[in-house]
Amino acid sequence: MRWVSALSERPSLEAAVKEVVEITQDALRASPDLGLVFISSAFSSEYSRLMPLLQEHLKLPMLIGCGAGGVIGMNRTYAGTLYIVCSKPANAANCSSICASNIKFRHKNYAD
């Protein structure tokens, strides 16, 4: 099993997703099976667009995400260092290449 963490501070959701996807694909070098995604509340008006954008580029069988006031991940600028972004646009993805065939996933939307 291999885990990869990626963080983007790009102010555009599309640019942030593109950067996170590039970092993830470069570092993982395999098709990810599981993704944990965190998006800052600065993107709250675009929450509904995040998952489809990520799925379009990463093709993850399982993707779990949530919004947050602060986002934690690895940033290209601070390679190898955990970086925290609070109160401004940020998007982080933690992806893994695992044998996910035995994992069961159920959708729960707490907004409803």
Q: What is the DSSP string of 37-57?
A: EEEEGGGGGGHHHHHHHHHHH
Number of residues in the chain:
112
pLDDT of residue 55: 83
Report the distance separating Cα 14 and Cα 82, nearest Å.
23
In this prediction the pTM is 0.78
Percent of the chain with pLDDT over 90: 9
Tens-place pLDDT, residues 47-95: 889 888 888 888 788 888 888 888 888 766 656 677 788 878 888 888 8
Type of residue numbered 31: S
| pLDDT tier at 96, thresholds 50, 70, 90 | confident
Report the distance separating Cα 97 and Cα 2, nearest Å.
6
